[in-house]
Amino acid sequence: MRVCLFDLDGVLAPTAAVHVAAWKEVFDEFLRRRAGRTGDGFRPFDVADYDEYVDGRPRAGGARSFLASRHITLPEGRPDDPPDKETVQGLSARKDEAFARRPHRDGVKPLEGSVRYLRAARDAGLRRAVVSSSRHCAEILPAAGIADLIELVRPDPEARS
């Protein structure tokens, strides 16, 4: 063995909490505004919503699935919709912005067992690489303090998560 490959999310860092917080920020703001316009009650987004409707899906798919769970239909929009546009793609862009702010502002705590393994692999002379579809992987590694322990490999330049 000469190389160790790692996934980022849930292997090197518990990024699900960052995703949940970003989606909560976006959906709660959207749901509050909508409740103000429609007179419907406000029910916040929570971890159970994330687990059921968002986790494991591309951003737009997660947005679409969650909105459907609340019987809300928005226009699909276009992938280049700005974050302030009230479309599925606009909400997705807003989530991407909310997520991108968090690692720099809040940091990301790496999983200690993985850090120990990365150091042991390095000390044994093994190459180490992270292979991730996350477009924010390059930002998360330094925020987690592990960029010096691993090389980033991007298999898909059109990554969506």
Q: Which residues are catalytic?
A: 7, 9
64, with CB counted inside 10 A (0-12, 13-18, 19+), is buried
- The maximal CA–CA distance of the chain, rounded, in angstroms, is 62
What one-character DSSP code corresponds to residue 156? -
Cα separation, 108 vs 110, whole angstroms: 6
